[in-house]
């Protein structure tokens, strides 16, 4: 041992691990799982049994969100520049007449956030996105300033993926250099 770090005997090559992956026989665990395995079996036995430890991610994260085209109501309303809430979660309206963006980390205005630390953050944009994907109805409440072409100033309705024009999940960042895979 050097500096309190146990030496690990490596007996597999990357080519051998790749062959096991291709044949579907590789032992793959997450970074969380490998900790318990190493504690129970020791680092050398864990290294001998495990082929890949995943520490990366490519999925919706804090920088994710969804662009929604709600479609026109009758009479028409210009959501751009107004205020819109989906299940009481505010969405960004600085787009076109019926386009909005809901960020995964958006929180209702009455959420205590971290006023009582640590905050509970019970419901927000990510939950609304999950409910949309699950096909649930989402309450839309909008307030706008009204124009000649878009005279409506208030809208309260229910939306879901079936009754809006489109929804595009937008993932600004999903793969990180420091979220790598250990073999």
Residue from 9, 14, 116, 149 carrying the catalytic annotation: 149
DSSP string for residues in 29-65: EEHHHHHHHHHHH-HHHHHHH--EEE----S--TTEE
**Local structure of residue 7 (DSSP, 8 states):** P
User: Which residue, among 108, 111, 129, 127, has the nearest Cα to 119 in the 3D structure?
Assistant: 111
Q: Please confirm, yes or no, whether 149 is among the known catalytic residues.
A: yes
- CA 126, 110, 121, 87 dihedral sign is negative
What does 85-122 look like in DSSP terms, one character per residue?
Answer: EETTEEEB--SSTTEEEEETT---TT--TTSSSSP---
Are residues 57 and 64 in contact, defined by beta-carbon separation less than 8 angstroms?
no
Q: Which of 156, 147, 176 is nearest to 84 (CA)?
A: 156
Positions marked active-site? 149
């Amino acid at each position: 041992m050097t500096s309190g770090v146990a030496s690990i005997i490596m007996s597999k090559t990357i080519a051998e691990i790749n062959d096991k992956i291709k044949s579907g026989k590789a032992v793959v665990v997450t970074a969380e799982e490998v900790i318990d395995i190493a504690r129970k079996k020791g680092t050398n036995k864990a290294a001998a049994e495990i082929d890949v430890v995943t520490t990366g991610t490519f999925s919706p994260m804090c920088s994710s969100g969804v662009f929604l085209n709600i479609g026109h109501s009758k009479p028409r309303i210009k959501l751009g520049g107004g205020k819109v809430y989906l299940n009481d979660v505010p969405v960004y309206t600085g787009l076109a007449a019926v386009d909005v963006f809901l960020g995964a980390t958006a929180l209702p205005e009455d959420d205590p956030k971290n006023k009582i630390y640590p905050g509970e953050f019970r419901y927000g944009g990510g939950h609304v996105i999950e409910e949309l994907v699950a096909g649930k109805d989402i309450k839309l409440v909008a307030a706008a300033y009204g124009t000649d072409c878009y005279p409506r100033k208030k809208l309260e309705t229910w939306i879901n993926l079936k009754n809006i024009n489109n929804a595009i999940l937008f993932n600004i960042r999903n793969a990180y250099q420091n979220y790598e895979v250990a073999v």
